[in-house]
Structure 1
Amino acid sequence: MLTSTTDVAVVGAGIVGLATAYELTRAGASVTVYEAGAPGGGQSAGDARIFRHAHADARLAGFVARSRAIWREWSDTFGTELVSPDGAVALGPAVESRMQVLRTLADVTVRPLDAAELRARLPLLAPYDGPAMLDETGGAIRTRAAVTRLSAALGDALVRDHVLTLRRTASGTVEVRTGTRRGTHAYVVVCAGLGTAPLAHGIGLSLPVQVSAHVRVTFAVREAPPRRLATLQDSSGAFGEEGVYAAPVPDNSRYGVGLAASVPVNDDGRSIDPAALDALATRAADYVRVALPGLDPTPVGHVHCWVTTLPWGDDGVAVWEDDGIAFVAGHNLYKQAPALGVELAALAMTGTLADELRPAARLGRD
């Protein structure tokens, strides 16, 4: 069995784990990142994510604004665009309240959209005359570019292996046992998506996560890709669904569409009904036929993934810390990853954690 010793272990090489490891290396720590599959291949999979500031919880909106600044820094450091400049469009009755929250934040520019500018920003959309807003500093996250650049920066710190157990040792370190190796570390940060709660359970910590499955469906743009294409959040119900999100791939030739709905797990806690996923994909295609006539409603791709949510809200996020091991859980974390990485690295290095990330704060509550 191979052995290794580094200052900090990060379990999971999704975007949050990669961001955490990157910040740790920048702070001078030695790091091992354990990942069973390809980096960014689990809950971080896909070609794009929405970057948006709009949240019901003003604290979360502020945290996301911190993250946006770091996305800009990363883009400069890596020499590549990581968030598109085309903005994030939101439709529906919550627009006014979201704008009131966001107008209190520095470096966030939001404003209402009339029908003409909405058409210019989102030429794929059917005619719509309800409440609409533009988050000018939102956009589509270039997910593959982000994962590729962060992984390259970490180099040999990435270890392809599945973590089986965590255990505290008599010397005060934490043992990480995988299929082929045993590592000892001064601190461990677990950002393992579906695997986070089971690893926490192994050390006697119960995380109140709810697990479900989700599908995002990709559709081709019918004509030449538009030069500018915003992301979309639609809670209007005007086109038959009250919870839809969508984002373009980097060349704007395809648009990924997902519903806020997800599929519960079966009694075994791990498997799901594939017919239920098919039903969600069909609903997404039906929405496209009505709402996005600029897309061909025949799917050209699917991303299936697990999601973990917390009891206080669909955007809830928290960090649990227990004697040298931290666990982060939540949903819609991609856009938050840079700021989460900074906070988790600080926790591993100094033992300090922002109060808003503690479970009692219920960050991201509805």
Structure 2
Amino acid sequence: MIVSKSFRWSDPRSITAMAAALSLVLSSQARSDEGVLDTLQVHGFLSQALVITDENNFFGPSSENEGSFKFTEIGANASLRPHEDVLLAAQVLSRRAGGDGSDARPALDYGVIDYQILSNQQRTFGIQLGRFKNPFGFYNQTRDVAFTRPSILLPQSIYFDRTRSLGLSADGASVYAEERFNSGIVRFKGGLGTPTTRDLATQLFPPDLDTQVGGETSSIAQLIYEHNNGRLTAAISAADVNLDINLGPSDGELNFQPWILSLQYDMGNWALTGEYAIRNLSLSGSGAIRGSDITGESWYIQYSRRFYDNWQWLIRYDSLVSDISDRSGSEYEMQGLGPAHSRFAEDITMGLQWNLNPRVLLAAEYHHIDGTGWLPLQDNPDPSETERRWNMLLFQLSLRF
């Protein structure tokens, strides 16, 4: 997401840093120029979902009784422009997604000081300092707000919810640029920082292990081309993510390198979207940390159609393979590491959205899944007890102001 001088609220460091920055601005600038407060923008949103599965659990005990209500998102964001070229923006999010609910404590989703060095009719260039949203794929930078998602759940092969914190944001610095042509727009965003790792340990490793995961210096970049006012959009995203792993006396390092190609053709009342990712994941260490080096593959294709003034439906096929050299997971199972179906997932999704008005959204969707490659470990601590084929039904109410 690129921030223009007319943009009111936007991307993405710590709450303390943003509070200090805001205090400084309000104490020095507001006294001399009360008009600064006129640029203050505050927005918020709330989403509550019901998740029902016939097998396995997703975001809570979804396969029991009437399902799970443990999928809640509550957020508030604010922005202030103390100078024509400077924007302060931050968002605090409380998100419960299964587990014991401890992850629902409010946390800084993003918080940046954005300085726009150059902006004219032809080009824009700026820099952001703080906690910035990672630019990859079409949806990652706006994934927290239900109104910006085409479905309740984004394609899990690309936008993993179980490792959401890793892909969401990073603490550091990013630059963005935009070049406008007669036929279209080219946008670039790249960042260098430390990835957030909140609650990541229990998603990468069995919850009963006392595992610590910390972020190390990582990089990410994305290049987007929009042709003919967004009729055709193409993007390529790449990252080099580094983590430190501590498992008791054992130490290790994890390196994750995804490449994502994104394409969308949008005719206004319908859109065809597809994304393809190739992911290299290497883990090195000693003791209890088992070294590995695998390459995974993800892709989806999605057709969405808008009808009447406020309805949209979609159908999507989504595929995930954890290791392209062992697509069926049979070798993984033969080594006694877990069930074969935990190494892949094929998901057929059908969804429906109804915007009652600009502030209220109702959504429902159905998933038929073969495989458990993206099931949250915290809700399914014993993979051997999961079922290969399962179905999921979701309903969601979303509000915003």
Normalised to the residue count of structure 1, the TM-score between the two structures is 0.25
**Structure holding more helix per residue:** 1
Instruction: Using CA pairs under 8 Å that are at least 6 residues apart, name the structure with larger relative contact order, 1 or 2.
Output: 1
**Structure holding more strand per residue:** 2
Bigger Rg, which one: 2
Normalised to the residue count of structure 2, the TM-score between the two structures is 0.24
